[in-house]
Amino acid sequence: MTSAPGAEQGAAAERAAELRSEIERHNHLYYVLDEPAVSDAQYDALLNELRDLEGVHPELLTPDSPTQRVGGHPLEKFIQVEHLQPMLSLANARDEGELRAWAVRVATLAEKSGLDGSAIDYVAEPKIDGLAISLLYEDGALVRGATRGDGEIGEDVTHNLRTIGAIPLRVPDAPRTLEVRGEVYLPRSAFARLNEVRAAAGEPTFANPRNSAAGSIRQLDPHVAAARPLSIWCYGVGAVDGLELETHREWLDWLRARGFKVSPEVEVYSEVESLAAGCRAWEERREALDYEIDGVVVKVNGLSIQRGLGVVGREPRGAIAWKFAPMTAQTILRRVAWNVGRTGHLVPFADLEPVPVSGVIVKLATLHNEEDLHRKDVRDGDEVVVMRAGDVIPQVVSPTPAAQRNPERGEPPRPPERCPSCDTPTVKPEEGVWTICPNRASCPGQLHQAVKHFVSRGAMDIEGLGERQAERFLADGLIGDVAGIYELDQERLTRLEGFGETSAGNLLAAIDVSKERPFHRVLFALGIPGIGAVGARALAHHLGSMDALLGATAEDVEEIEGMGPVLARAIVETLAEERTRALIERLRAHGLQMEERGAAAPPEGPLSGRTLVITGTLPNLSRDEATARIEAAGGRVTGSVSGNTDYLVAGDDSGTKLARAREVGIEVIDEAGLEALLEG
Ligand code: IVH
């Protein structure tokens, strides 16, 4: 006998509820706390079970089910919606003097209303440079998410906001009505990668993380937002019906406790002196954060005082934004010059009259690709806006309006007719977006870039074979390409000036050692356009071997997280090229790893069995380099601090992970400490 249909349905409903709360718990751990507790596969299994259950019992499907985050069909058009409480703006303080003047005004006004002006507390929080949004919860369920619009009326973008894992779809113990306000942003690291991938595909790049976040949210099709690792910082509430708290700080704590992502570093100050010091501290850390901030927002903590202070125009008197100096500057673009990349693409860059941009002298800036150059319409001699943000390499944002009006302006720059490195006539493939140097076999510029990348620390990391040495070997004809490194021998090396028996022997031994680098490093080292360190890991992890990758279709590659259709096609096309295949086969014949070994066999070393997390900017090592060296010493690098972490390697300004490590009592070391561990 089968059980009665009612009982079966009851069990299904119970399991669905259980799965939903379990999945949302993991979402919170992963997206808000950055502390995943299960593997991707375990998470997917839970989601798939829920999806299957909802497939069999469609009546159990609810709009707040985690299966509904990436919604179905694109919208036809945006719907305008009215915020229950308007989204206001902030007055600005440009410096400390203006902040102090504001605090004096606030105290005086408070006293006029019979309050104690000297007892005012201030809350300082980062001013996130993203896209302002308002989330409306009714009886705890997310029913709508909207952009700021004109402050009164915004656009309904619920379909896109639902895709953001850090936004709770359901809030426990929520008041009847609750508007949560926050700023959607794209992490700087994700922005840099997104632009890298778009530039490699010849697509227009985004000027800054804010534009890319806004561009992702203002899309009718939710799949665009779902494909980008957007996040949110929540900083307050709008309309609330059914709960009253006394201070802004209490609201922030309330939101955090209910699963919203609220900065853990918000501070309350009772003195203007320490408040100003707190603001300056944010400015100093600005560049080390993985999200862009353009200032600090200071709010009066007491909500009754805040209300009493009122609003002037659209700006509440009880809050102010201390704005940082802009990270942009104007200078003259001497000329657009061109570099040849490791795959022959001609990459434009700006040769600028040197200019300081937030403390750093900038002489060169990237222009990404031809499409970017045309879209920005910069010309030789133009006065241009240069920005340093979100990306380590400064970029040219646009010509200034004055340059655009200049009647004597030059012609739009065009890619050179001959390769700047080998003088071969350049070509632009009919369907391609890049002009290329077709001399892939012997263009010194391309070879140089390819070898430089191949031997670099995050790639094959050959001790004693740095960029300069590689350049010399190429120039002396000792190697013709990257595979040539494995064909070097004692006799040829000792013929070179400066190489004795011992140094040649050491180098050959180091080259031999590099044959043990795992497959994902080999894949990264090949320098296939669009395969960075992260992409190489994902490909190696999912496909397992070079043969599987060579046999994969663009559709197979697209299934891997982080691989969009354009990138997937570009990867498959490059791998199909005769030249790429021949190079891979030579490397295989030399014994390089062409299969990803199971996680079971990390190399033995001083860090065997140890798990490390890296955060902030290290003075001498990039993340890739540090990761590669830790792995080579037998250690494991993960993205977030958990009970399993042995060390947190903290660079300049380390934010939340550092705070968490201290909380959990994990040993924090700096780069020197890491070097000591690596020494064993
Ligand atoms: S409070 C009453 N707090 O800055 C003003 N705003 O010019 C309500 N922003 O569009 C805003 N970080 O989207 C506040 N921690 C923060 C913020 C923040 C970024 C944005 C906000 C608003 C703009 C105000």
> Can you list the pairs that 111-118 forms with residues at least 24 positions away whose Cβ atoms lie under 8 Å?
113/308, 115/305, 115/308
Tell me the catalytic residues. 127
In angstroms, the CA 40 to CA 319 distance is: 42
Centre of ligand 1 from the C-alpha of residue 256, in Å:
17
CATH of 611-679, one of 3.40.50.720, 3.40.50.10190, 3.40.50.300, 3.30.360.10: 3.40.50.10190
> Which of these ranges, 9-13, 34-38, 413-417, 558-562, has the smallest mean pLDDT?
558-562
Ligand 1 atom closest to Cα of 148?
Answer: 10
pLDDT at 55 over 50: yes
CA-proximal residue: ligand 1, atom 4 (nearest): 127
CA-proximal residue: ligand 1, atom 16 (nearest): 127
Q: Does the Cβ of 478 fall within 6 Å of ligand 1?
A: no
Question: Torsion over CA of 292, 295, 301 and 303, rounded to 10 degrees?
Answer: -80
Tell me the two tokens of residue 22. Answer: 């379990």
For residues 395-419, average pLDDT: 93
Tell me the two tokens of residue 355. Answer: 């200019």
pLDDT at 1 over 60: no
Q: Does the Cβ of 62 fall within 6 Å of ligand 1?
A: no
Q: Does the Cβ of 222 fall within 6 Å of ligand 1?
A: no
pLDDT at 611 over 50: yes
The top-scoring range by mean pLDDT among 27-41, 181-195, 293-307 is 293-307
> How would residue 69 be classed by pLDDT, with cut points 50, 70 and 90?
confident
pLDDT at 174 over 60: yes
The angle formed by the CA atoms of residues 65, 68 and 71, to the nearest 5 degrees, is 165
Fold of 328-405: OB fold (Dihydrolipoamide Acetyltransferase, E2P) (2.40.50)
Mutate to test the pocket of ligand 1, among 102, 233, 234, 235 (most ligand atoms within 8 A of CB): 235
Residue of higher predicted confidence among 526 and 6: 526
444-514 and 611-679 in the same fold: no
User: Is 186:122 a contact under the CB 8 Å cutoff?
Assistant: no
For residues 446-456, average pLDDT: 89
Centre of ligand 1 from the C-alpha of residue 313, in Å:
16
Residues 122-161 as b/e (b if ≥16 CB within 10 A, e otherwise) read bbbbbbbbbbbbbbbbeebebebbbbbbeeeebbbbbbbb
Centre of ligand 1 from the C-alpha of residue 199, in Å:
31
Residue of higher predicted confidence among 583 and 36: 583
pLDDT at 599 over 50: no
Beta bridge partners of 312: 315
> How would residue 274 be classed by pLDDT, with cut points 50, 70 and 90?
very high
Q: Does the Cβ of 183 fall within 6 Å of ligand 1?
A: yes
pLDDT at 275 over 50: yes
Q: Does the Cβ of 184 fall within 6 Å of ligand 1?
A: no
Instruction: Convert the pLDDT of each residue in 568-597 to its tens digit.
Output: 888 999 899 998 999 999 999 999 999 988
Instruction: Convert the pLDDT of each residue in 630-676 to its tens digit.
Output: 878 888 776 667 777 899 999 887 777 788 888 878 899 999 999 99
Q: Does the Cβ of 406 fall within 6 Å of ligand 1?
A: no
* CA distance from start to end of the chain: 66
pTM score: 0.67
pLDDT of residue 602: 57
Residue (of 489, 488, 550) closest to 519 by Cα position: 550
Average pLDDT, the chain: 89
For residues 376-393, average pLDDT: 84
pLDDT at 71 over 70: no
pLDDT at 601 over 60: no
pLDDT of residue 518: 93
pLDDT at 600 over 90: no
CA-proximal residue: ligand 1, atom 2 (nearest): 88
Torsional class of 526: left (φ above 0), alpha (ψ -120 to 50), beta (otherwise): alpha
> How would residue 2 be classed by pLDDT, with cut points 50, 70 and 90?
very low
- Write down how long the chain is: 680
Mutate to test the pocket of ligand 1, among 183, 234, 260, 282 (most ligand atoms within 8 A of CB): 183
For residues 134-159, average pLDDT: 95
Ligand 1 atom closest to Cα of 132?
Answer: 13
Torsion angles phi and psi, residue 86, rounded to 5: -60, 150
> Which of these ranges, 65-74, 127-136, 439-448, 495-504, has the smallest mean pLDDT?
65-74
- For the chain, give the percent of residues with pLDDT over 70: 96
| Cα distances (Å, whole numbers) of residue 187 to 183, 230, 460 | 12, 7, 28
The angle formed by the CA atoms of residues 20, 22 and 26, to the nearest 5 degrees, is 115
Q: What is the DSSP letter of 154?
A: E
In angstroms, the CA 465 to CA 452 distance is: 9
Residue (of 142, 127, 59, 46) closest to 92 by Cα position: 127
pLDDT at 351 over 80: yes
User: Is 394:388 a contact under the CB 8 Å cutoff?
Assistant: yes
Torsion angles phi and psi, residue 69, rounded to 5: -65, -50
Fold of 91-323: D-amino Acid Aminotransferase; Chain A, domain 1 (3.30.470)
Using DSSP bridges, classify how beta strands 131-138 and 346-357 pair: parallel, antiparallel or unpaired: unpaired
Strands (E), 242-291: 267-269
Instruction: Convert the pLDDT of each residue in 247-270 to its tens digit.
Output: 999 999 999 999 999 999 999 999
What is the CATH superfamily name and number for domain 519-589?
5' to 3' exonuclease, C-terminal subdomain (1.10.150.20)
Ligand 1 atom closest to Cα of 316?
Answer: 2
Torsional class of 650: left (φ above 0), alpha (ψ -120 to 50), beta (otherwise): beta
The CATH number assigned to the domain with range 444-514 reads 1.10.150.20
pLDDT at 3 over 60: no
Which amino acid type is present at position 211?
A: N
CA-proximal residue: ligand 1, atom 23 (nearest): 89
Residues 356-389 as b/e (b if ≥16 CB within 10 A, e otherwise) read ebbeeebeebbbbbbbbbeebebbbbbbbbbbbb
Q: Does the Cβ of 132 fall within 6 Å of ligand 1?
A: yes
Using DSSP bridges, classify how beta strands 611-615 and 647-650 pair: parallel, antiparallel or unpaired: parallel
Tell me the two tokens of residue 585. Answer: 């086969």
User: Is 297:90 a contact under the CB 8 Å cutoff?
Assistant: yes
Q: Does the Cβ of 125 fall within 6 Å of ligand 1?
A: yes
- For the chain, give the percent of residues with pLDDT over 90: 55
| Cα distances (Å, whole numbers) of residue 569 to 301, 520, 553 | 53, 19, 8
- For 653, half-sphere exposure in the C-beta direction (CA atoms, 13 angstrom radius) is 12
Domain coordinates in residue numbering, the chain? 5-68, 91-323, 328-405, 444-514, 519-589, 611-679
Q: Does the Cβ of 319 fall within 6 Å of ligand 1?
A: yes
CA-proximal residue: ligand 1, atom 18 (nearest): 127
Fold of 5-68: Helix Hairpins (1.10.287)
CA-proximal residue: ligand 1, atom 17 (nearest): 127
Residues 26-36 as b/e (b if ≥16 CB within 10 A, e otherwise) read bbbbbbbbbbb
Instruction: Convert the pLDDT of each residue in 469-509 to its tens digit.
Output: 888 898 888 998 899 999 999 998 998 888 889 999 999 99
Q: Does the Cβ of 316 fall within 6 Å of ligand 1?
A: yes
In angstroms, the CA 395 to CA 112 distance is: 50
Q: Does the Cβ of 148 fall within 6 Å of ligand 1?
A: yes
Instruction: Convert the pLDDT of each residue in 295-316 to its tens digit.
Output: 999 999 999 999 999 999 899 9
Mutate to test the pocket of ligand 1, among 128, 210, 297, 315 (most ligand atoms within 8 A of CB): 297
